[in-house]
Structure 1
């Protein structure tokens, strides 16, 4: 039996928060401080290294600091730079990147209005994100989204990560609604959409950076109301 949507759960990075934009600006800042002009190739190499080494952390293969150092060790030579061998020096260098990344934190322009619209429609709002508790909550606070979210589950706090169905079941439990009464909104077809559907949730695949805020809002609110979203993304 299909239940009415009682809660909407959002991914954070790439869905509500413009992680790719902030990361690209931080790479530009870091390389510029080292005397190298950033290029699309270097930005793409950083994004790929981030994805791969973050997943190693998520699987428990390295600790959080080690995955950060690994990005620098891999990408700096592509820019003609020699990475420091001392882990402490690598941490200091990553700290420079991190400061620039934080300074560039922005939500997508439509994120806050969308969360307000969901709450105005009498649905609870959750965020389920693969990341550390401190940084992901800091992102929500710094971008003004915290007060619009009822429950935040980070993979670090709950001990499981998307696409593991237990992560989706956990946030449904914390929201106090059945998984079948949740709509999940995310930008990753496997971690977000496939994972949510495996847990019994409905799901909408969105890409605010590509499609714009109006398209995301239409898809989400249509699915909340039980209508087929324009891209069909809400089908189970």
Structure 2
């Protein structure tokens, strides 16, 4: 085992908590134009329309303005506010940096493949304070392709100069992360998510601290197999 690659949103970044923190803060900052709407109603509707990040915010804000008759606000300004301010509300999953430090201490290459807009995702990675741990970071906008396209997995492995059989991918989405990585020949770890009950992954974790233990076990298993082959 030579490399571990990660998804970002829902895997390293607690996106649900980050969105809640951001949208509540946005409501408070833009209260002059939103005060006729109950805060809870505005925040819950944003989260509903956002669909956990799978709908870009231009459509979300256009819909919000139409539904709540926000004549004093422009969706372009609200989108700009989202782009510039979201990074200040990024919430990591527990033990994120400790887990990454442990993987690096194991002499492993560490990579990331994330769907999304390039600079926006890089700003969030910087905000989490984890960029230094990664040997490669691929963002779908800049790569011209996105998960579950297997080519983006192959591209990351090529840049790391590792074979798919020597790598593990960790993600929360059953199709975009787990199944896609498996189709690319990688071992896949599912970071459990409340949206799905069960995913056909090679391993399942609830906490990031479990990941180095799994990798260590795989490395020992590979070393044992290699030793047996040499003995024969």
| Interval containing the TM-score (normalised by the shorter chain) | 0.7 to 0.9
TM-score (norm 1): 0.76
Is 1:82 aligned with 2:69? yes
Q: Distance in 1 between matches of 2:54 and 2:143?
A: 17
CA contact (8 A) 1:11 1:186 kept: yes
Match of 2:99 among 105, 108, 114: 114
How many angstroms does 1:219 deviate by? 3.8
Q: Post-superposition shift, 1:189?
A: 1.1
Report the Cα offset of residue 201 of structure 1: 0.5
Q: What is the aligned counterpart of 1:93 among 78, 84, 87? A: 78
TM-score, with length taken from structure 2: 0.77
Gaps of at least 5 residues in structure 1 are 56-66, 228-236
Cα-Cα RMSD: 2.8
SS of corresponding position for 2:159: helix
> Unaligned stretches of 5+ in structure 2?
196-204, 220-232
Distance in 2 separating the partners of 1:44 and 1:198 = 36
Residue of structure 2 aligned with 1:125, choices 110, 115, 140: 110
Aligned residue pairs total 205
Task: Compare 215-224 and 173-182 and name the one that shifted more.
Answer: 215-224
* TM-superposition CA deviations, 1:143-188 (whole Å, max 9, x none): 2101111100010111111111111111111111012211001111
Q: Which runs of structure 1 show a deviation greater than 6 angstroms over 4 or more consecutive aligned residues?
A: none
Counterpart position of 2:39: 38
CA contact (8 A) 1:53 1:71 kept: no
